[in-house]
């Protein structure tokens, strides 16, 4: 039997502070990405959030590319999915062109480069060190 979570809620008002958020690019809801599962879109958003943090902290390659690590195990934990499901999700993102994974071998996690469509509308994020929208 599933245990019900007890959570207290507050009304969102004009005086409410904004909640911490994960950037979710609008291009992910366009028709060209209709074949991607929602889990794949959420994982992309999670990786985009991590890339934004890496950028703010200066973890950038000499050529300006932001590469990141996001293991299958981390994705399993964040998405509450099995290893098999997460592996399939990474494959979806890779075959769509949204990510490129470079295997490093020796038990090291793959190095991931995020991509975005060349026609995507982009904005300049605020450099606050908090979660950035992109």
Query: Would you state the pLDDT for residue 96?
Result: 96
Query: Tell me: the pLDDT tens digits for 110-122?
Result: 999 999 999 988 8
pTM to 2 decimal places: 0.82
- Closest to 114 measured CA to CA, from 36, 55, 58, 57: 55
Query: Would you state the pLDDT for residue 134?
Result: 41
Q: Measure Cα distances from 74 to 93, 119, 126 in Å.
A: 16, 30, 27
Structure confidence at residue 59 as a pLDDT band (50, 70, 90): confident
Above 70 in pLDDT, residue 3?
no
Contact 52, 23 (CB under 8 A): yes
In CATH terms, 29-114 corresponds, of 1.10.287.1080, 3.40.50.2020, 1.10.4190.10, 1.10.10.10, to 1.10.10.10
């Amino acid at each position: 039997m599933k245990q019900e979570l007890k959570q207290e809620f507050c009304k969102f008002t004009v005086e409410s502070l904004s909640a911490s958020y994960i950037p979710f690019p609008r291009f992910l809801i366009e028709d060209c990405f209709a074949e991607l599962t929602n889990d794949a879109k959420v994982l992309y958003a999670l990786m985009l959030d991590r890339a934004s943090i890496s950028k703010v902290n200066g973890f950038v390659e000499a050529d300006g590319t932001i590469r990141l690590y996001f293991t299958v195990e981390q994705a399993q934990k964040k998405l509450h999915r099995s290893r098999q499901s997460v592996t399939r999700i990474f494959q979806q993102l890779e075959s769509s062109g949204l990510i490129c994974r470079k295997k490093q071998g020796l038990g090291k996690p793959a190095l991931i480069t995020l991509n975005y469509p060349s026609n995507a509308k982009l904005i300049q994020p605020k450099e606050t060190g908090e979660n950035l929208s992109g």
